[in-house]
């Protein structure tokens, strides 16, 4: 596969793979370099890994006229303080949970 250098403008991620699907869209698989998240129950910073959520695909800003999609498997962390040791999916600043787009894409569309 051709190696493509792409400026993503997304903080705290490492690009793991860049591919092009049969529609000609660019698919970029990334991994978060941020460790830990805040427990959704007690608000403490938690860093005990608890696997990953299902992979999600987010529409991002087009590059060179091609649609760009970002793929990521959000990390999950477990709280050791709360009863029942609940888990929380890592919240990242560049997309909203359950949104199909990155925040950068949303801002671009609204402009
Ligand atoms: Zn907690």
Q: Are strands 48-52 and 75-78 parallel, antiparallel or unpaired?
A: antiparallel
Q: Please tell me the total count of domains within the chain.
A: 1
The span from the CA of 110 to the CA of 107, in Å, is 5
Q: Is the pLDDT of residue 80 over 80?
A: yes
Report if residue 6 sits inside a domain.
no
Please give the pLDDT value at position 64: 85
| Banded model confidence at residue 8, pLDDT cuts 50, 70, 90 | confident
- Indicate whether 93 pLDDT > 70: yes
Q: What is the mean pLDDT of residues 18-40?
A: 95
| Count of C-beta atoms within a 10 Å radius of residue 94 | 20
The whole-number average pLDDT for the span 4-11 is 74
Question: Cα of 67 to ligand 1 centre, how many Å?
Answer: 39
Please report whether residue 5 resides in a domain.
Answer: no
- Structural domain span for residue 94: 13-103
Which residues are placed with Cβ below 5 angstroms of ligand 1, an ion? 39, 41-42, 79, 81-82
User: Is 30 in contact with 16 (CB distance < 8 Å)?
Assistant: yes
Q: How far is the CA of 81 from the centre of ligand 1 (A)?
A: 5
Phi, psi of 63, rounded to the nearest 5 degrees: -125, 125
- Global pTM reads 0.85
Rounded mean pLDDT of 48-54?
Answer: 97
Residue 63 forms part of a structural domain? yes
The model's confidence at residue 94, banded by pLDDT at 50, 70 and 90, is very high
């Amino acid at each position: 596969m051709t190696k493509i250098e792409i400026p993503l403008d997304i903080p705290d991620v490492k690009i793991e793979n860049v591919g092009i699907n049969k529609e000609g869209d660019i698919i970029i698989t990334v991994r978060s370099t941020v460790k830990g998240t805040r427990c959704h129950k007690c608000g403490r910073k938690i860093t005990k890994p608890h696997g990953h959520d299902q992979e999600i695909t987010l529409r991002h800003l087009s590059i060179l006229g091609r649609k760009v999609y970002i793929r990521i498997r959000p990390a999950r962390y477990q709280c050791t303080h709360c009863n029942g040791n609940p888990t929380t999916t890592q919240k990242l600043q560049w997309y909203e949970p359950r949104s199909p787009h990155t925040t950068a894409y949303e801002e671009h569309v609204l402009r």
